[in-house]
Structure 1
Amino acid sequence: MLSTLSISNYALIDRLEVDFNKGFTVITGETGAGKSILLGGLSLVLGKRADLSSLRVKDQKCIIEGTFRIDTYGLQNFFEENDLDYENSTVIRREILPSGKSRAFVNDTPVTLGVLSILGENLIDIHSQHQTMQLTENDFQLKLVDALANNQKRLSEYRKGLKTYRKAQKELDKLIEVQSTANKEQDYNTFLLEELEKAPLIAGVIEELEEEYEQLNNVELIMEQLSKGDQLFNDEQIGVLPLVTEMRQSLSKLVDFGSNYNDLFERVKSVLIELDDVSSELQRLQEGVEANPDQLEQVNNKLQLLYNLLKKHNVSDIAELIVIKNDLADKVFETANLDDKIISKTKGIQELQAVLEAQAVVLSKKRNSVIPQLKKKLESDLGLLGMPSASFEIKLNTAEEFTATGKDELSFLFTANRGGSYGELKKVASGGELSRIMLVIKAILAKYEKLPTIMFDEIDTGVSGEISNRMADIMKDMSVDLQVFSITHLPQVASKGNHHFKVFKTEGKERTMTNLKQLTDDERVVELAHMLSGKDLSDSALAHAKELLSASSSV
C-alpha cells in the first residue's frame, strides 16, 4: 500500500507531501491541473526513466520519495536476492540531478532502474490507456484464466522444469556441434597422438640420446685414447703404476726414521690406490666400447624423430610435447565418448519432456474447467456496465512447442452485439469497451490474486450516468481487499471514494505550481457540485452533490 508520496522540484510541483490510506481514493481536478504530472512523478519512483525536463528548477535536483507498506506482499525473497534491507515500511527514493543523471534507492541502498522497475511492478499497478491495450495480448488473457484455475503453483513448477529442459537442450545442441567439429578432426588428432606415443617422451631423453650418439659416433677415437691411457698406466718400462709402485717400495724403507717420512709414504700409497682404480676403470671402459652401427642408427633415428616433433609442434622441450600429447589424448577420448554422452543427454531430455507434457496437460485441463465460469462472469458484469449483448468465445488450442505457460494457445474473441461476428479484442472493441472489460477483469483478478495497489487513470472516460455508478461500485468493492485509486472526471465516481484528493494549480507572480490536497466533507460537496455544473455553483448542484455523497456513504 502507498502510504506517503513526497515530490520536490518536479515539473510544476515545487514541493508536495501527501499521506494516503487504504480503501478507495479518488483524485479529481480540472483538465490541465496536473494529474498527469502526479502520475509521472509516481512512475519515476516505480522505475521509469527520467531526463532533465523533469526538473522544475534546472540547477537543483528533483527528489521523489514513496513509502509503501509491504508486509503482506511476500517480497522478502526479492529483497534478499537483490541484497536489500527488508522493511515492512519500505522507502523508495528517486533523485534526478541537474547533470541529467538519476539515482534510485530502496531503504537507502542504491539500486539499478531494472531492480526498481521489477519492485515497482509488485507495488503499484497503474492502469492507463496503454495498459488497456495489454488486455488484447494473449499472455495477459491467459493470466486471467490461470488466476481462476488457481494455476499459479502448477505454473511455477512447470517453469522450473521448462528451465531445466531448455538448459539440457542447449547442452545437447552444443554436444552435437562439438561432435560435428570433432569428427572432422578425429583422424588427424589420432594420427598426431599415435606419432607422439611412439616417441620416447621422457624428461632429459634428448640429452641422454645426444650423449649416446656422440659416444657411438666417435667409438674409434674413444677406443684409441682408452688404449693409450691403459698403456701409459701399465707399461713395464715407463708405466705410471710400475713407477709409483717402485716409489712406494723405496719410501717404505724410511717410515721408521720419522713421521714426516711416514706421512710421505702414506700419501704415495693413497695415490697408488687411486691410480690403480683409474687403471681398472680404463680397462672396464675398453671392454665396453665397441663399434655398433645399428645402435648408432637407432639412436640417430630417435633423435631425429624428437627434433622433428619439436619443430612440428613449435615447442622447445620434451615437457611441452608431453602436455600436447595429454591434450590430444583427452580430445580423442572425448570424441570417442561423445556418442555415449549424446545418447545419455537425449534420454534425459526425453524424460524431462515427458514430465513437462504431463504438467502441460494438467494446466490445460484446469484452464478448460474454468473457461465457462469466466465467460459467464465477464458477460454478466459487462451487462451491468451497459454492455448487455457482450459475448466472449474463449477456447484453448494445443501448441506444437513448450512455452512459458504450457502448450496452450488461447483464442479470446469478443463481440459487443447480439448476433455479431466474433473477433480479436484489439480489432472489434472500442476504447470505452476495452476500459470496461479491463475494469471487470481487474476486479476478477483481485478476487483470485494478491494484487498490488491499483491506480485507474480515467478508466471511466466515455461513460456517464448509471454506468459510471456501477464502475465506481466495482472499484469500491475491489478496495475492500486492496488499495484502489481512481483519477476521474465523473462526480458519480468521485462521490464513492473513501478519500478524496484534488489536484489544482496556483498562479504565482513568476510561475504556476501544481498542488494536491485532501478534501474535507464540505470541500467535497463543493468539488462535486463544480463537477456537476461547472464553475457557477447553483443550489441544485450543491443539493445534488450532497445527495451523491449521502447515497455513497449509506452503501
Structure 2
Amino acid sequence: MLTHLTIQNYALINQLSIDFTQGLSIITGETGAGKSILLGALGLVMGKRADLSSLKYDDKKCIIEAQFNLANYQLEELFDDLDMDYEEETIIRREILPSGKSRAFVNDTPVNLSALNELSGQLVDIHSQHQTLSLSDTDFQFSILDALAKNQVKLASYRRGLSKYQKVERELRLKQLEASQSKEQYEYNLHLYKELEEAELRAGEQEELEQKLEKLNNIEEIKLQLSESYQLAASEEIGIQNQLHSLESKLQRISGFAASYEELANRVASVKIELDDVVSELEQANEDVEYNPSELEQLNDRLQLMYNLQKKHQVATVEELLVIFDQLAVKVAQVEGADEALAGLLAEQAKIAEKLDDVAGRITEARTKVIPKLIKELKKLLNSLGMPNANFQIELAPSTSYLANGKDQLSFLFAANKGGSFGELKKVASGGELSRIMLSIKNILSKNIKLPTIIFDEIDTGVSGEVSNKIAAIMDDMAKHMQVITITHLPQIAAKGQQHYKVYKGDVDGVTTSNLKQLNTEERIAEIAEMLSGKDYSESALTHAKELLEL
C-alpha cells in the first residue's frame, strides 16, 4: 500500500508531499492542472526511463520518493530473488541529476531499473484505457482463472515439478547427443582398444626387448670375446689361474717369516677365489651364448608392433600407449553403458511427468469449475455498467506440451451485442468497453487475491448517468479489499472516496506550479459542486454535492 509520496523539482511541481491511506482515494482537478504529472512521477518510481525534460529547474536534481507498507503482501521471497533488503516500510527513491544521469534506490540501496520494474509491478498497478490491452494477454487471462480457482499452491507445485522435468530433459538431450557423437566413433575406438588389448603391453617391456635385441645382433662378437677371455684365464700353460696359483704357492712359503708376507699370501688367495668364480661364470656364459634366429625374429616382430602402435597414436613410449588404452576403455564403456544411463533418465522423466500430469489435471479441473462463475459475475457487473448484452466464451483445450502454468490452452472470447459473433477482446471491444471489462475483472480479483495498489486514470471517460454510479460502487467495493486511487472527472465517483485530493495550478513569482492537497469536508462539497455545474456553481449544486457525499 502506498502511504506517502514526495516529489521535488519534477515537471510543474516544485515541492509536494502527500500521505495516502487504505480505501478509496480520489484525485480531481481541472484539465491541465497536473494530474498526469502525478502519474509520470509514479512511473519514474516504478522504473520508467527519465530524461532532463522531467526537471522543473535544470540546475537542480529531481527526487521522487514513494513509501509503501508491505506487511500483507508476502514479498520477502521477491526481495531475496532481487537481492534487496526487505522492510515492511519500504521506500523507493528515484533521482534525476542535472547531468541527465538517473539513479534508483530501494531502502537506500542502489538498484537497476529492471529490478525496480519487477518490484514496483507488485506494488502499483496504474490502469488507464490504453493499458486494457493486457486483457488480451493469455498470461493475464490465466491469472484471472487461477485467482478464482485458488490454484496458487497447485501452480507452485507444478512449477517445481516442471523445473525438475526440464532439468532431466536437458540432461537427457545432452546424454543423447553425447551417445550419438560417441557412437560415430565407437567402432573405431573399439578397434583401437582391441588392438592395444591384444598387444598385451606392459610398462618397461620395450627397454628389456631392445636390450635383448642388441645382444642377439652382436652374438658373434660376444661369443668370441667370452671364449678368448675364458682361454686367457684358464689356459694350462699361460692362464691367469695357473699364474696366480704359482704366485700363491711362492708367497705361502715365506708367509711364516713375516706378518706382511702372510698378509700378501692371504690377499692373493682371496683374488684366486674371486678369479675362480669369474672363470666359472665365463665358462657358463660361453656355453649359454648361441645364435637363435627364431628368437631374433620374435624380438624384431614384438618391437616392430610397439613402434607401429606408437607411430599410429603419435607417442614415443609404451607407457603412453597404456594411458591411451585406459582412455579408450573409458570411451568404449561409456557408449556400451549409455543405453542403461539413458534408460535411467527416461524412467526418472516418466516418473516426474506422471506427477506433473496429476497436478496439471487438478489445475485444469479447478479452472474448468470457475469458468461459469467468472462468466456469470462478469455479465452481471457489465450489465450494471451499461453493457446488458455482453457475453463471454471461455474454453480450455488440452495441450500436449508442458506449459509454464499447466497443460491448458485458453480461448477467451467476447461478444458485445446480442447475437453478435465472438472474437478476441482487442478486436471486437471498444476502448470504453475494455475499460469496463477490466474494472469488472479487477473487482472480481480484489475479492480473491491480494492485489497491489491500483490507480485508475480516468477510465470513466465517456461515461455518465447511472453507469457512473455503478462504476463508483464497484470502485468503492474494491476499496474494501485493497487501496484504490482514482483520477476522475465524475462527481459520482469523487463522492465515494474516503480521501479526496485536488490537483491545482498556481503562480509563484511568475512561475506556474502544480500542487496537490487533501480536501476537508467543506472543500470536498465545493469541489464536487464545481464538478457538477462549473466554477459558478449554484446552491442546488451544493445541495446535490452534499447528497452525493451523504451529508
What TM-score do the two structures reach when normalised by structure 2?
0.89
1:40-64: per-residue Cα shift (whole Å, max 9, x none)?
A: 3323333334455545555655443
2:390 aligned residue: 390
Q: Which moved more, 1:406-415 or 1:444-453?
A: 406-415
Q: How far has the Cα of 1:96 moved from its partner?
A: 4.2
Q: How far has the Cα of 1:127 moved from its partner?
A: 1.9
Q: How far has the Cα of 1:281 moved from its partner?
A: 4.7
Q: Which moved more, 1:237-246 or 1:449-458?
A: 237-246
Answering whether residue 28 of structure 2 is matched by residue 38 of structure 1, we say: no
Distance 1:409 1:293, change over 3 A: same
Q: Percent identity over the alignment? A: 54
Partner Cα separation in structure 1 for residue 320 and residue 68 of structure 2:
64
Answering whether residue 444 of structure 2 is matched by residue 431 of structure 1, we say: no
2:163 aligned residue: 163
1:120 aligned residue: 120
What pairs with 1:234-273 in structure 2 (closer than 5 Å)? 234-251=234-251, 271-272=271-272
User: 3-state DSSP class of the match of 1:459?
Assistant: coil
Distance 1:537 1:249, change over 3 A: farther
2:71 aligned residue: 71
Distance 1:471 1:194, change over 3 A: same
For 2:176, give the aligned amino acid: I
Partner Cα separation in structure 1 for residue 473 and residue 190 of structure 2:
80
1:337 aligned residue: 337
Q: Which moved more, 1:47-56 or 1:144-153?
A: 47-56
User: 3-state DSSP class of the match of 1:394?
Assistant: strand
What pairs with 1:56-67 in structure 2 (closer than 5 Å)? 56=56, 61-67=61-67
2:473 aligned residue: 473
The answer to whether the Cα contact below 8 Å between 2:129 and 2:434 also exists between their aligned partners in 1 is: no
For 1:395, give the aligned amino acid: E
1:516 aligned residue: 516
2:198 aligned residue: 198
What pairs with 1:134-173 in structure 2 (closer than 5 Å)? 134-173=134-173
Q: Which moved more, 1:188-197 or 1:63-72?
A: 63-72
1:247-302: per-residue Cα shift (whole Å, max 9, x none)?
A: 45555566666666666566555555555555455445445443333333333333
Q: How far has the Cα of 1:388 moved from its partner?
A: 1.8
Distance 1:349 1:229, change over 3 A: same
2:231 aligned residue: 231
What pairs with 1:305-454 in structure 2 (closer than 5 Å)? 305-454=305-454
For 1:119, give the aligned amino acid: L
User: 3-state DSSP class of the match of 2:362?
Assistant: helix
For 1:502, give the aligned amino acid: K
1:143-162: per-residue Cα shift (whole Å, max 9, x none)?
A: 21222222221222222222
What TM-score do the two structures reach when normalised by structure 1?
0.88
User: 3-state DSSP class of the match of 1:135?
Assistant: helix
Answering whether residue 176 of structure 2 is matched by residue 179 of structure 1, we say: no
Partner Cα separation in structure 2 for residue 200 and residue 362 of structure 1:
63
For 1:32, give the aligned amino acid: G
For 1:465, give the aligned amino acid: G
Q: Which moved more, 1:530-539 or 1:30-39?
A: 530-539
Distance 1:258 1:84, change over 3 A: farther
Distance 1:493 1:236, change over 3 A: farther
For 2:397, give the aligned amino acid: N
Distance 1:144 1:271, change over 3 A: same
Partner Cα separation in structure 2 for residue 289 and residue 47 of structure 1:
96
Partner Cα separation in structure 2 for residue 89 and residue 126 of structure 1:
21
Partner Cα separation in structure 1 for residue 64 and residue 255 of structure 2:
114
1:4-25: per-residue Cα shift (whole Å, max 9, x none)?
A: 2333444444443332221211
User: 3-state DSSP class of the match of 2:412?
Assistant: strand
1:299 aligned residue: 299
Partner Cα separation in structure 1 for residue 205 and residue 446 of structure 2:
81
Partner Cα separation in structure 1 for residue 19 and residue 40 of structure 2:
18
Distance 1:273 1:397, change over 3 A: same
- 5+ residue gaps, structure 2: none
Partner Cα separation in structure 2 for residue 245 and residue 45 of structure 1:
117
User: 3-state DSSP class of the match of 1:402?
Assistant: strand
Structural RMSD (CA): 3.1
User: 3-state DSSP class of the match of 2:92?
Assistant: strand
Q: Which moved more, 1:133-142 or 1:100-109?
A: 100-109
Q: How far has the Cα of 1:431 moved from its partner?
A: 0.6
Q: How far has the Cα of 1:87 moved from its partner?
A: 1.7
Partner Cα separation in structure 2 for residue 100 and residue 263 of structure 1:
110
Distance 1:242 1:396, change over 3 A: same
For 1:439, give the aligned amino acid: L
For 2:139, give the aligned amino acid: D
Distance 1:362 1:275, change over 3 A: same
For 1:126, give the aligned amino acid: I
Partner Cα separation in structure 2 for residue 25 and residue 443 of structure 1:
16
1:326-378: per-residue Cα shift (whole Å, max 9, x none)?
A: 23222222222223333333343333333333333322222222222211111
Partner Cα separation in structure 1 for residue 16 and residue 286 of structure 2:
110
Q: How far has the Cα of 1:403 moved from its partner?
A: 1.8
Partner Cα separation in structure 2 for residue 512 and residue 284 of structure 1:
125
For 1:22, give the aligned amino acid: Q
Q: Which moved more, 1:125-134 or 1:476-485?
A: 125-134
For 1:304, give the aligned amino acid: Q
Partner Cα separation in structure 1 for residue 51 and residue 288 of structure 2:
94
Q: Which moved more, 1:33-42 or 1:277-286?
A: 277-286
2:500 aligned residue: 500
Distance 1:51 1:324, change over 3 A: farther
Distance 1:501 1:226, change over 3 A: farther
User: 3-state DSSP class of the match of 2:136?
Assistant: coil
1:60-110: per-residue Cα shift (whole Å, max 9, x none)?
A: 554433322112211223333444332221223334455655444333334
The answer to whether the Cα contact below 8 Å between 2:4 and 2:20 also exists between their aligned partners in 1 is: yes
Partner Cα separation in structure 2 for residue 269 and residue 288 of structure 1:
29
1:47 aligned residue: 47
Distance 1:266 1:506, change over 3 A: farther
Partner Cα separation in structure 2 for residue 99 and residue 306 of structure 1:
76
